[in-house]
Amino acid sequence: RVHQFGKVELFSVTSPLQSGAKLWSLVELQLEILRDLGISPLRVLDMPHRELGASAARKFDIETWFPGKNAWGELTSASNCTDYQARRLGNSYSYNDKDGNKQKSFVHTLNATALAVPRVLAALLEQGAAAGNDCENFWIPKVLRGKCGLPQDGRINPVKE
């Protein structure tokens, strides 16, 4: 990668039959986190195959509106890598088929970004400034108020020199 940044990742290992539903549950968790932070609007993009990396069979991106750029920008993504990574690592599981015969299959792996810190901070600052209609005041999401010394009313006024 050309860039690197701090983020919190989600990983899941599941059976092939459950991986499609698990991918959507990761997207729903990402949306819940972003909504709890008050980031809005949000849109979910089902990425075309030409946009996927070698390991991903399906990928969703979640974007928000950045008023300062007057454009949508990616906040998080979630990918179903099916058995691509599991085959390389030799991760498999055993199960009994409908006739009771023991079978072996590779697991499916999924990953998602829970929080890409710089992207989320940029969205909070831009949308917080836009909500106050100026760049002098910023609003802190309710879920963060009172944490780490942040004010309970959610308003931050930068010190003027």
Per-residue tens of pLDDT for the chain, all 161 residues: 455 668 889 999 999 999 999 999 999 999 999 999 989 999 999 998 888 888 999 999 999 999 888 999 999 999 999 999 999 999 999 999 999 999 999 999 999 999 888 899 889 888 876 655 555 666 777 787 776 666 666 666 655 55
| Cβ atoms of 115 and 22 closer than 8 Å | no
pLDDT of residue 1: 47
For the chain, what percent of residues have pLDDT higher than 90?
59
Cα four-point dihedral sign 154, 9, 52, 14: negative
